[in-house]
């Protein structure tokens, strides 16, 4: 008779799976040992605690594998750029939801750093956002997180996933520009900054695409 799998065990298995994916290639033996070890832990809560410790160890090994001279490499800068997009996208969803749900204090606290931020105008903008756009903004965050995970594991699909997330993010922003309340809530400088960010990102992605095509041709 098979034992019922609890949510403790399910979370532990997922954490371990993500952890071993972060391990450098020369630590593949660790992955095998970790998978075997967790199967011998009968208590599900202990398994969850052990999986958290394993995830921390895997992340430490991944960071240790990044030599100082590689911090300014294209790979490291790409990861940093994705993290910036994740933070920005998650922030946009959070402040819009807070204003839409009537949590004005939270929205004001999140918007303190934005130039000329006015909570009442932003609340009007949040109320005018359709539900579908909220869903799209949430999907964008998920795609950016997925692209980061793929990038950390050096998967080729990470680049395509990031491009898709950037494209959808641009679509969402262009849609917001068509909402009159958005123009009243956001300062021109804020809109210009977002536009410059998209233009810069498009230029970098285009350059990487061209370089990648040239490398494939010469190969």
Question: What is the 3-class SS of 25-79, one letter each residue?
Answer: HHHHHHHHHHHHHHHCCCCHHHHHHHHHHHHHHHHHHHHHHCCHHHCCCHHHHHH
C-alpha to C-alpha distance for 12 and 2, rounded to whole angstroms: 18
Q: Which pLDDT belongs to residue 73?
A: 59
118 and 78 belong to one structural domain:
yes
- CA distance linking residue 55 with residue 195, whole number of Å: 38
Residues 57 and 94 both lie in one domain: no
User: 96 and 58 share a domain?
Assistant: no
For residues 30 and 67, the answer to whether their CB atoms sit within 8 Å is: no
Q: Burial, 195: exposed, middle or buried (Cβ in 10 Å; 0-12, 13-18, 19+)?
A: middle
Q: Supply the pTM of this predicted model.
A: 0.62
* The pLDDT value given to residue 171: 94
How confident is the model at residue 174, as a pLDDT? 93
How far apart are the C-alpha atoms of 144 and 89, rounded to whole Å? 9
88-135: pLDDT as tens digits:
899 989 999 998 998 888 888 888 767 667 788 888 999 999 999 999
All residue ranges of the chain with pLDDT < 50 are 1-2, 69, 71, 215-219
| Percent of the residues in the chain that have a pLDDT greater than 90, as a whole number | 22
**With helix as H, strand as E and coil as C, how does 123-146 read?**
HHHHHCCCHHHHHHHHHHHHHHHH
Residue 152 and residue 82 share a domain: yes
Q: What pLDDT was estimated at residue 190? A: 82
Task: Out of 44, 65, 86, pick the residue that ends a domain.
Answer: 65
CA distances from 143 to 81, 156, 165 (A): 14, 15, 6
Rg (CA), the chain: 21
Give the whole-angstrom CA distance, residue 17 versus residue 95: 32
pLDDT the model gives residue 217: 47
Do 115 and 15 share a structural domain? no
Number of structural domains found in the chain:
2
> Is 212 a member of any domain?
yes
**Domain range spanning residue 20?**
7-65
What pLDDT score does 216 carry? 46
Same domain, 184 and 88: yes
Q: Examine residue 126 and state whether it is found in any structural domain, yes or no.
A: yes
Q: Please report the sign of the dihedral spanned by the C-alpha atoms of residue 108, residue 109, residue 110, residue 115.
A: positive
């Amino acid at each position: 008779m098979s034992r019922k799998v609890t949510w403790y065990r399910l979370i532990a298995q997922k954490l371990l799976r993500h952890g071993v994916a972060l391990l450098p290639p020369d630590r593949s033996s660790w992955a095998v040992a970790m998978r075997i070890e967790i199967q011998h832990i009968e208590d599900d809560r202990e398994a969850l605690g052990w999986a958290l410790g394993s995830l921390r160890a895997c992340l430490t090994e991944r960071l240790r594998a990044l030599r100082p001279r590689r911090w300014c490499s294209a790979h490291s800068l790409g990861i940093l750029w994705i993290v910036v997009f994740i933070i920005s996208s998650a922030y946009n969803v959070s402040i819009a939801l807070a204003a839409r749900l009537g949590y004005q204090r939270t929205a004001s606290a999140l918007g303190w750093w934005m130039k000329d931020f006015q909570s009442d105008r932003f609340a009007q903008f949040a109320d005018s956002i359709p539900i579908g756009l909220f869903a799209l903004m949430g999907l964008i965050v998920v795609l950016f997180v997925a692209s980061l995970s793929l990038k950390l594991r050096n998967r080729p699909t990470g680049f395509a996933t990031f491009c898709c997330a950037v494209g959808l993010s641009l679509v969402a922003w262009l849609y917001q520009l068509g909402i009159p309340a958005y123009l009243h809530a956001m300062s021109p400088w804020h809109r210009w900054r977002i536009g410059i960010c998209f233009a810069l990102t498009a230029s970098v992605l285009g350059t990487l695409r061209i370089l990648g095509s040239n490398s494939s041709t010469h190969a």
